[in-house]
Structure 1
C-alpha cells in the first residue's frame, strides 16, 4: 500500500522499537494547540502557499486515535511465518472473489496489460490482498490516521511527509480532506495507495477527468498496473521459480536482499538451481528465499518482477502471496472459461 504494506515494511526496515500502547503528551482530541502541528502548518503555508486559517481548521478537526498507534505496532509481515501468512490471502474466498472481479473488469484488465505490460492476474491479486477487491478499504479518516502518526508516532518524519502529500492531493483534486477514509496508515482505495503514491502513480484510466481509486475499479486497475510498470515490471518475465539447493554454500545468500544480485550461473556455483524445467537465461539475476511452509522449508528464486512486487510492499511474504493468489485466481478463471 505505497499503500499500507509499503509503509509497514519501511518501518520494519528502519528498525527501532515500535510503539505499543504508548501515551504521548498533548490533547488526544485536538491537534490545534500542539507545537508540532503548529510548526507543520507554518511549513505548509511557506512551502506550498496553503491558506493558514483553512489549514488550521483542518488540523483542529484531526483526532488522535490510539487504535492506530496500537495497530501499526504489529504488522503481519513482521510477526508471521509463511505457513501462517499465506492462508490469510491465498484462500478460497479471495480466489472466488478474484475470479468475480476479473470477470467484471475483464476488458479493463486486458487494456491495462496492453498499456503497462503487467498481467491481469497480478493486478487482480494485489487488489485482492490489499482490500478484498474493494470490500476492505479502511474505516479510518485519512486525516486522523496521518495526523496521529505524524505527530504521535516515533517514526514521525515518514508520516509527516505523507500528511503533506495528502493535503496537497486533496487541494489539487478538490477533495474534502476530512471525509476520505482509508487504512490505519493512511492508505486509500482499491489498491491502498498512500498519498505520495497517489500523486505519483494514480491514473485516470477511463478518461473522465478524475483519478478515482476509491470507487472506480477502472482507475484503480490502471493505477496499480502503472505503479508496477514504473517500478520495473518486465512484460513476459517470470517473477519466481522454485529452487533446488545442494551443499552448504547457498546458505549465506538466503533472504539477504529483495533485489536480485547474482546471476543463475553464479548461483549454480553456490549449489542453487531452478527446479523448473523452463529454460531460464543463465545471465538472469535472482535472489534466493527460504520460506517456512506447511510441508517444511521451501526455496525460491525471485527475479526482477518479484522485486517489482516488493516495491508495493517491501516484504517477501507479501510478494509471494500476491504471486500465488494471482496464479490460483488465473487457474480458476481459465477453468470456468472452458
Structure 2
C-alpha cells in the first residue's frame, strides 16, 4: 500500500534523480526513532493502557497538508523521517500528509535554552523562602476571586463531576487555577511546534516527547482537529487543565455530551480533571494534608519528599503526631516547606500524592491544596453574605 512505503527511503526517489542527489548526505540531527518507538512512560494505575489507540480515519487527517519531503526547519532530520514511517505503519497516516504538516513546524530555540537551564537545577534542594515565593504566585486575590466566579458560572457541572467522580469541586478548581487561571492563559505555543522541537532536539527527554507527538497526532485526527492549530504550553500541554496528549487519550472526557472531547471547553475540562483524579486513586472523604507536631528535622531516620513513604506508626516512633487522622494505614509523605523566616513540615496523605500525579512537585500540590481551600471558603462565605 502506498501509505506504508518507507518514507526515509522515498527521500531518494522522484521523477528527477538530480533533485535528490544530495539525500544520502543529509545530516542526522537526532536519534533514530526506530530505537525509540515506545510511547512515553508515565505512572498510571494498574491495568490502565497508556499507548495511543490506532484510529484509521481518515488516513490523511485534517488540514490538507501534503509534500513529497519535509522542508522548513526540520528538513533533513532522519529521526523525523523514521517517525513518519512509524506513524504510517502503526496508525495508518499518509506519510505525504505528515511531510506536509512537519514542513510547517517551527523549531523553538527558546524552549531548548530554557530547559537546558532548568535541567541543571532539577536536583537542587529547596532554598530558604522557596515555598513563600512559589505560594505568592498563586495564593492571591486574582486566583481566588476567579475561582469563585468560575464556580458560580459552572456550578452544575462541578456538582455533577463531584457526584460522578468523587472529587470535591474545590480541587478541580485548584488545578485550573494553578494551570491557567481558568483559561485566562492557556499558552501561546503551537502544540505541533512545541512537541516537534522537544521530540527531535531535546536529548534528555526526547523519547517521552516523541511519544507525546504520536499521541497528539492520533488525538487531532480522532477529534477532527487541524494539528497545526491548537496552542498550549511550551511543552505541549493543552486546555484549561493543561493535559499532555497522552493524558488526553487516557483521561479526557466529553462531559458536555456534544460528541467531542475539548479541553478548551470549561465543561469538558471540569469532567476531565475530575476523571484524572479519580483514575489516579482519589479517595472521597479522605484528608489531603495534615499539620505535624514535633520536630521532623531532628529525626535522622526521616527524609522529606515524594519518594519517601512512612506509616503513621513510624512517624509516631520518630516523635511526631498528626493534626488530622485519616483512620487508615495509608502511605504518608513528609513535606518540607521553606518559608522566608522558618521551615514548615506537613504530612501528605494519598490524596496529596494524587495531586502530584498531575505535577510531581510538593510546591505545586500544596498550591493546589491551599487554593482549593481558599476558593471554597470564599465561595461559601459569599453565599452566606
Do the two structures share a fold, i.e. TM-score over 0.5?
Answer: yes
| Equivalent residue number for residue 311 of structure 2 | 263
Partner of 2:80: 37
- Tell me the distance in 2 between the aligned counterparts of 1:33 and 1:195: 26
Q: Tell me the TM-score normalised to structure 2 length.
A: 0.76
Superposed CA deviations along residues 77-136 of structure 1, whole A, max 9, x for unmatched, are: 957721211111111110111111111111111110000011111000100100010011
Spell out structure 1 runs of 4+ moving beyond 6 A: none
Segment of structure 1 superposing worse, 224-233 or 242-251: 242-251
Maintained 8 Å contact 1:141/1:180: yes
For residue 175 of structure 2, the aligned residue among 101, 111, 126 is 126
For residues 95 and 297 of structure 2, the distance between their equivalents in structure 1, rounded to whole angstroms, comes to 62
Q: Is 1:56 the counterpart of 2:99 in the alignment? A: yes
Contact kept, 8 Å, 2:186 with 2:238, in 1: the verdict is yes
| Number of aligned residue pairs | 311
Aligned to 1:93: 142
Deviation at 1:279, TM superposition (A): 4.4
Alignment partner of 2:347 out of 301, 307, 310: 301
Which residue is 2:234 aligned to? 184
Q: Measure the CA separation in 2 of the matches of 1:90 and 1:265.
A: 33
Measure, in 2, the Cα distance between the counterparts of 1:49 and 1:330.
Answer: 47
* Structure 2: gaps spanning 5 or more residues: 1-39, 44-69
2:205 counterpart of 1:142 = no
What are the within-5 Å matches in structure 2 for residues 1-338 of structure 1?
A: 29-73=72-116, 81-154=130-203, 155-214=205-264, 216-246=265-295, 250-258=299-307, 261-274=309-322, 276=323, 278-281=324-327, 283-338=329-384
In structure 2, C-alpha distance between the alignment counterparts of 1:40 and 1:59, rounded to whole Å: 11
Map of 2:33 onto structure 1: none
d(CA) in 1 for partners of 2:325, 2:244:
39
Alpha-carbon distance between aligned partners in 1 of 2:267 and 2:343, rounded to the nearest angstrom = 39
Greater RCO structure (CA 8 Å; 6+ sep): 1
Q: CA RMSD in A?
A: 2.3
Distance in 1, matches of 2:210 and 2:242, equals 18
Normalising to structure 1: TM-score of the pair? 0.87
